[in-house]
Amino acid sequence: MPLFTWGVPLLAGGLVVHYVVSKMVYPVLWSPIDNLPGPLTSSFWESNLHQLFDSRRSWAAHEKLAQVYGRTLRVFGLAKFDQRVLSMDPSVISHVLHRPSIYQKPWQTRAFISAIIGESLLSSEGGKHRRQRRVADQAFSERNLQSFLPIMFSRAAELTERWVAIADKSDEGKATIDVVNWIQRTTLDVIGEVGFGVNLNALNDEHNELHLTYKEMFGVLLKRQHPLITLIGISLPRLQPWIPTDMFTTLTRCKSAVHEFGSKLIEEKRQLLSGQEKCKARDFLTLFLKANSQPDLSEDQRMSDQELLDIVNTMLSAGSDTTALSIVWALHYLSINPAVQARLKEELANIPVYNASQICSEEEIIAHFNAIDRLPYLDAVMKETIRLAPSIHSTIRVAMTDDEIPLSEEMIMRDGSIEKTFKVKKGQWIHLPLEATSIDRTIWGEDAWEFKPERWDSLPEKVADLRGPYANMLSFSAGPRVCIGMRFAQMEWKIDLHHIISCLTFGPTAKIVKGTVSFSRPYVEEDWRKGRPSSLPLSVSRDLPEEAVCT
C-alpha cells in the first residue's frame, strides 16, 4: 500500500523534476552554445522566432542580427530555456547539411510534415530515407525527365490559350486573373501525369476535387487555434481525427480524400504491371512499383503500400506547389518591373512558341527545350526570382551526437575568447535560414534586396562561398538531402514562362505581401491581414497580333 501511496507520486514528481532540469535548467546554465553571441531577453518567455519567420520582417531581422552578433548566433526558441543556434555562415550550413547522420530533422518538424503529407522522403530519416531516396532518384534521371517534356509543353500551351481567350473576351482586351489558382492547377496536372500517368484535368476544371483538397489543406493551416492543441495534434497524429477543431477535422478529411485517390492509383498501376509483360509507362509511380518489385530486393528493403502512398502524396504537394509558386513569383516581379518584362519578351521572341502537336519527334522536343534552357535572360530572371522568393524560407536540424562545427571566420564569443569553431551537444537545434543567405547584402552587394536579373552577368566573388547546388544558392538546400525535384522544377518553369511571356503582358493590380504558410506565398495585403487565401491578381493582356504566334 505505501508503495502506491508514496511511490507513484514520488516517481511522477521525479520524472517532472528530471524533465525540467534536463530540458529547462541545464540548457540555460550549461549549454555550450550559451557562449555564442546573441540577443538577451528581458523576460523568461521572450522568443526570437517571430521576427525570423514573419516574412515582412524577416530580411531586416536577419540582417540586424548578423550585424550585431555575427553570422552565427544563439537565439531563443519557445522561451529562454530553449536556446538554439541560428547560422547564416556558409561553412556552418554546409557542415550541417552534408552530415545527415549527425544532423536530422527534429521529430516535431517530421511529425508536422507527416501530419500533412504522410511519412515520406521529406520527413523520413536514416536507413528509411536512404532506401526511399535510392528508389526515387532513378525516377529523376535527366533521361527520364526529358521524356516528360511533351507533357510540360502541352500544359503550358493549354494554360496560355486559356488566358489569351480570357483577355480577348474582356473589355479593352485586358482581364484581371488570379494567376496563383491557374498555375497551381497547371503544375498539379503536370505532376499528375508525370508522377502517376493520370490526367487530373485540374486546369480545365476549377472545381477539381484534388486541387480543392490541397487548397483547403494549406488554407486551414492559416487558421488560429490554441498552440497547445496544435502541439498535441502534431505530436500525436493518431489523435487528430478525434480533436474537434476546424484545423484537425479539415486535415483528417483532406488526408482521407488524398489517401483514397492514392490507393486507387496504386491498385490500378499494380494491375497494369502484372497484366503486361513490359509496361512502357515512365511515370514515377510505375518506376517506384517496378523498383520495389525487383526480385533481388530483400523484404526489409521493400516499401509498404503506405510508404508508396506517402510518396505519391509528397510528390503531389512538394512537386506542384513549390514549382507553381516560383512561376507565380516570377510573374509578380515581371509585372512590377515592366522594363525587365520587355527585355525578356525580346529574348523569348527568338524561339517560336509551339503547341505540343506541332513538334513531332522526341529529338525535336529535346532540341527545342535545350534552346529555351540556354536563353541567358530567362535563366537570370528565374535565378533572381528564386533568390528573392524561394518557396522554402528555412530549414532546421537537430544534432544527434555532440559535435564541433567550423566557422568561416573567427568569432568573438561572449566570454571574450576568439574561436574558429563552436561546440554543440546532442539535442541542439540549429536553424538554417536558406532565404537569408540569398539576400545577404554583405555577400550580394548593396542592391541585394532589389529584383535585378542583370546582376547575374557579373556576381560578387563572395557568392561562390555559398556553395549551393543551384547558381550557388541554397534555395533547394544542399548535400545528400538536396531537393530531388530541382531539375524538374527548372524545366517546368522555363517552359511555362517561355509560353506565357511570349504571348501575354502582365501588370500589377494590388499591393502584394509575402506570407509563409508551409511555403512562401503571395497575398493581397488586406487578404493576409484578414486570413484569406493566397492570390496574385494581375492584369493580363494579349500582345499585338503581329508579335504573337499564339492562338
Q: Which ranges in 337-478 belong to alpha helices (H)?
A: 338-348, 362-373, 376-388, 434-438, 441-444
Q: Residue 390 interacts with ligand HEM (CB under 6 A)?
A: yes
Q: Residue 391 interacts with ligand HEM (CB under 6 A)?
A: yes
Q: C-beta of 134: minimal distance to ligand HEM in Å?
A: 10
Q: Residue 485 interacts with ligand HEM (CB under 6 A)?
A: yes
- Site for ligand HEM (CB under 6 A): which residue of 72, 181, 395, 520? 395
Q: Which stretch binds ligand HEM (CB under 6 A): 198-206, 253-261, 291-299, 315-323?
A: 315-323
Q: DSSP of 272-294, one letter per residue? A: HHHHSSS-----HHHHHHHHHT-
Residue from 294, 356, 352 nearest 131 by CA: 294
Number of residues engaging ligand HEM in binding (CB under 6 A): 24
Q: Residue 318 interacts with ligand HEM (CB under 6 A)?
A: yes
Nearer CB in complex with ligand HEM: 175/471: 471
Q: Residue 476 interacts with ligand HEM (CB under 6 A)?
A: yes
Convert 375-389 into a string of H (helix), E (strand) and C (coil). CHHHHHHHHHHHHHC
Handedness of CA 105, 110, 116, 119 (dihedral sign): positive
CA distance 409 to 70: 10
Q: Residue 475 interacts with ligand HEM (CB under 6 A)?
A: yes
Q: Which residues contact 131 (CB under 8 A, 6 or more apart)?
A: 301, 303
Nearer CB in complex with ligand HEM: 188/392: 392
Q: Residue 323 interacts with ligand HEM (CB under 6 A)?
A: yes
Could you give the C-alpha distances from 223 to 344, 436, 529, in angstroms and in order? Answer: 39, 26, 12
Residue from 94, 66, 76 nearest 477 by CA: 94
CA distance 95 to 408: 11
3-state secondary structure of 499: helix
- Angle at CA of residue 444, ends 440 and 446, nearest 5°: 85
Q: Residue 183 interacts with ligand HEM (CB under 6 A)?
A: no
Q: Residue 483 interacts with ligand HEM (CB under 6 A)?
A: yes
At which residue does the C-alpha cell 518584362 appear?
341
Residue from 394, 457, 361 nearest 85 by CA: 394
Q: Residue 87 interacts with ligand HEM (CB under 6 A)?
A: no
Draw the binding track, 488-507, toward ligand HEM (x: CB under 6 A; -: no contact).
xx------------------
- Site for ligand HEM (CB under 6 A): which residue of 431, 481, 521, 542? 481
The C-alpha cell that represents 527 in the structure block: 487578404
Draw the binding track, 410-449, toward ligand HEM (x: CB under 6 A; -: no contact).
------------------------x---------------
- How many residues does the structure list for the chain? 551
- Site for ligand HEM (CB under 6 A): which residue of 122, 152, 220, 309? 122
Question: Is 483 among the annotated ligand-binding positions?
Answer: yes
Q: C-beta of 483: minimal distance to ligand HEM in Å?
A: 3
Which residues participate in the annotated binding site for heme? 483
Binding residues vs ligand HEM (CB under 6 A): 121-122, 133, 314-315, 318-319, 322-323, 326, 390-392, 395, 434, 475-477, 481, 483-485, 488-489
